[in-house]
Amino acid sequence: MNEAPYEQPTRHPQAGATGPVVEQPVSAPAHPLYASADQPQTDDHPAAPTFRLPDHRAALRATLAQRLTFSERPTWSLLFSLVALLLLGLIGVLIISSSAGGANARLRAAATRTAALLKNQGTAQTQAIYFTILPGAGCDKNGALWATDNVGSFQCVANGLQITNSSTNATVSTAWFQGVKGYFPTNYRLSVDIDTSNLGANGCAGIEIRSYGNSGGYGFYVCPGQGFWRLNSYDSQTGTATKLQSSSLGAQTLYEIMAIANGNTETYYIDGNQVATATSSAATYNKSLGLNVDVGQGSNGSAIFTDFTLVTL
């Protein structure tokens, strides 16, 4: 600022003057630092001037308004990014919760079906339930022990365990469930969903119960390409299969098959409907359960097993 500094009025005698001392006028600055209403009074004791700083609030508001425009505000972009990340995180949590909720719902449905069946059969209430969406070695993360044979291939896929077999194999491809933490129930109810979309014209997929490894037990299969289901028994010494029962099967690709092994009686279901019963001394074979794929002669195929549920009776 090039203005001369403002000087307070001073009192001093004029050179060579006699008589009373008078005030010497001084020049005021071009822009007074106080308003005209605050000018000193004309009495001998003028009031002290009240200084007022320039009002910068209007300029400050204008500056802030300019900075908050969409074209000049990186803060808004950052805020938008943070909100987007939070929304994505929330969506992820909802998806996970939905998946967990779906698994729990399926487990509750399985338990409800089991309780209804046992009530109809006059059997005692269930004691424990083991459930996994993804059965099989390397797929099941819920603590069960699984093994596979050397026939075919086994792959964890998004919706279950895929077992593939080919016509060059003379036997069934099997994933063996061998219990949880060393425990295997004597009496149980087993259910599993099977997707047979790629099973092939001659293929069959199903479960094996009351088995001791590759010996003994019963195999219960759906064979949609051939239009029937069948129940086999396996020789405890040689493993040779013998057909016990068979009947027609509705054409579809997804089946829920179930077996109740209670004492020396085994009862079999397809989509909740009882289709077969077997009675024998095979209750001694309790060391493993099998998920089986057999593609027959001259074809290749696979099946996907999911929602494996085992209920102790």
Burial track 264-287 (b if 16+ CB lie within 10 A, e otherwise): eebbbbbeeeebbebeeebbebbb
Looking at residues 184-192, what average pLDDT do you find? 93
pTM exceeds cut of 0.85: no
* pLDDT top residue among 60 and 147: 147
At 174, which amino acid appears? T
Whether the predicted pLDDT of 199 surpasses 60 = yes
For residue 305, give Cα distances in angstroms to 155, 156, 233, 235, 259: 11, 10, 22, 25, 15
CATH of 99-312, one of 3.40.50.2000, 3.60.130.10, 3.40.50.300, 2.60.120.560: 2.60.120.560
Tell me the per-residue pLDDT of 36-49, one tens digit each, with 9 for 90 and over. Answer: 444 444 455 555 45
* pLDDT top residue among 147 and 54: 147
Least confident segment among 26-30, 75-79, 121-125? 26-30
Looking at residues 207-217, what average pLDDT do you find? 79
Rounded Cα distance between 132 and 38, Å, is 88
